[in-house]
Amino acid sequence: MREGPSIPSSTALPGSKLSPTVLLTAAVAALGGLLFGYDTSVISGAMLFLKTDFNISDKQLEFAVGIALAGALVGSGLAGYLTDRWGRRTVLIITGIGFGVFAVLSGLAPGLTTFAIARFFVGICIGIASLVTPLYLAEMSPARIRGALVSLNQLAITVGIMVAYFVDYALASSQNWRWMFISAVFPSLVLLIGMIFLPESPRWLARAGFRERALENFHRLGRGAEAEAELQDVEQVLREERGGFGMLFQPGFRVAVLVGIGLAIFQQITGINTIIYYSPAILRMSGYSSDKAAILAAAIIGVANVLVTVVSILLVDRLGRRFLLLLGTLGMAVSLTLVGIAFHTDSASSVVFYEVIAYIVSFGIGLGPVVWLLISEIYPTKIRGKAMSIATLCVWGANWLVAGTFLSLIHAAGRAGTFWIFAAICVAAFFFCLLFVPETKGRSLEDIERYWHHFSGKTV
């Protein structure tokens, strides 16, 4: 990709101030990301006791883990329509209610069937939050800090994963898996109450024809004298947004769509879900003496995930997206190869633990946060919403596939063979990023769009 101009600092509206409402919006809305991380990973510790309590097989346990991801697939498919129909704020309020209600029902479930139904609806909330939270943050944030505030969502996801591990550890002695799920009601209540006092997205209000309310909310978000000019920019973009899903396959668009889909799928099939959802079980396989010790080790892995995500956010605009992807996928391939060797040679459990830490660090520096950032950057303006919907569906579809087959793969390929398979997929991801993913650091969105037109001209 040819060198393009940097986005000038004047992109931020000169008269705008950083409103306390913007900061409050970021803090509250990011709870959607925290709940996303918490509810997807809390089952990693709970499954050790759930399996015994419900007396279920490995196949049934895979189903119990994967059912929330099936719900997330449905939720992400519905999210675009729901937010366009009812508004970003309203959907997040309803999602907050759903998170709380179905977290409690998951914890109170008397058997696998009712548990699976409750977790499916939790998954729908997860899928909706995964799309709506970054969308709401992006539309509410001033341009000059939009990247940082949207990245806060990814950080919140990793914090949610870490908190889930520590809650699992705290309740491991009593084997109280029910409260592991019910505890999600507390951040759900904060999200619900906080969203009630936050404004609706001015962009959605403008799209829905509520111009005066849109202008009022721009003022509330600290835009000051520039509110009218920003609203006019929004209205101009809305007038240009035309066309259905057929646009995604036009020259100049389809390669960007395919690259985004590839990134979304590789993020999920390179083994991260085996670590997030099954890390205590993996560590028990490696020789950890108790469930509680394995859950504590998983919690430490969660801390490493949070810390390296912070590092990635600090480095992504300095070292570039593509460099971090290549570094991360290479590190993941090496780490998973070593995990496979450790299982093949029956190495000490501490060896597996440190190699899993190395894998999490590699994922957290690259594929974890960078894929979500790239998906928001690489699509031309006219197709960004539709293309992001497809990419999000691919994330959850691939996530469900991996989580729902991991234990079966262990039985079929063995512990070592399973991790070597994931290592090979990491190598494929490395070459995909090397060959097809452009560097977007310092490029304007217009320059990125011109790149795709040029790329398509050479390949179609």
175: left (phi over 0), alpha (psi -120 to 50) or beta: left
Alpha helices in 320-348 (DSSP H): 321-344
Long-range contacts of the stretch 407-411 (C-beta < 8 A, 24+) = 407/58, 407/59, 407/61, 407/62, 407/278, 408/58, 408/59, 408/62, 411/58
Angle at 291 between CA 290 and CA 293, to 5 degrees: 65
Tell me, what amino acid is at 283?
A: L
Cα 202 to Cα 419: distance, rounded to the nearest angstrom? 47
Cα 230 to Cα 206: distance, rounded to the nearest angstrom? 11
What DSSP assignment string belongs to 38-101?
Answer: HHHHTHHHHHHHHHHHHT--HHHHHHHHHHHHHHHHHHHHHHHHHHHHH-HHHHHHHHHHHHHH
Each residue's pLDDT, cut to its tens digit, for the chain (460 residues) gives 444 333 333 344 444 456 777 888 888 888 888 998 899 888 888 887 888 889 888 888 888 888 998 999 899 888 878 888 898 899 999 999 999 999 999 999 999 999 999 999 999 999 999 888 887 887 787 766 666 677 788 889 889 989 998 998 899 888 899 999 999 999 999 899 988 888 988 888 888 888 888 888 888 877 777 788 778 877 776 676 555 666 677 766 788 888 999 999 999 999 888 887 788 888 888 778 777 888 888 888 889 989 998 898 888 878 888 999 999 999 999 999 999 999 888 876 778 888 889 999 999 999 988 887 788 777 765 666 678 778 888 988 898 888 888 888 988 999 899 999 999 999 999 999 999 988 877 675 557 767 776 665 554 4
Cα 460 to Cα 456: distance, rounded to the nearest angstrom? 6
Contacts of 9 (CB under 8 A, 6+ apart): 144
The pLDDT of residue 352 = 83
The pLDDT of residue 9 = 35
The pLDDT of residue 241 = 57
Least Cα distance to 364 among 318, 327, 401 occurs for: 327
Question: In the chain, what are the domains?
Answer: 18-198 (1.20.1250.20), 249-460 (1.20.1250.20)
Place of tokens 């009601």: 185
Contact 167, 184 (CB under 8 A): no
Distances (CA, A) of 93 to 190, 220, 414: 10, 20, 44
Cα 204 to Cα 276: distance, rounded to the nearest angstrom? 35
Cα 235 to Cα 420: distance, rounded to the nearest angstrom? 51
Cα 349 to Cα 308: distance, rounded to the nearest angstrom? 23
